[in-house]
Structure 1
Amino acid sequence: MLNKGNIDTYVKKLLKQIALENDIQIVEMKSDKDHIHRLIECKSQHYIPNIFKGFKDYPELKNRL
């Protein structure tokens, strides 16, 4: 079970894994209280809104994101 203290670490790890699986480079990533900013580099065929859509597969984050 995720608690408030480790959600940031977990989400960043998940974003890095999604990026790796999709041949995307995360140039910079910083988090704030309730959101994460990412600067990414990707190929032109990537549709940006779909790149990090994988969170729907993680029900433990559903109520926290």
Structure 2
Amino acid sequence: MELIQKVLDQPVAVSQPASLRPYNSKLKVHDQILCGKIMHSNFSKLAYSIMQSVGYVHDIRAVLFEYMLL
């Protein structure tokens, strides 16, 4: 629980503006969702922080985006 709380307390930020990243438009929208611009939830903040810390942000974003559409 301590680890989860530490992750939730960390600020959620994108390292670069979406316009500088070679993502398709679908992932740009997902960036906004994870950053809380569209959806404000602890899950999105936690998921984004964990993925960012382990370096899998670019690969897992598309998977989570598909899951959120279900």
Structure having the higher strand fraction is 1
- Higher relative contact order (CA closer than 8 Å, sequence separation 6+): 2
TM-score, normalization: structure 1? 0.28
TM-score, normalization: structure 2? 0.27
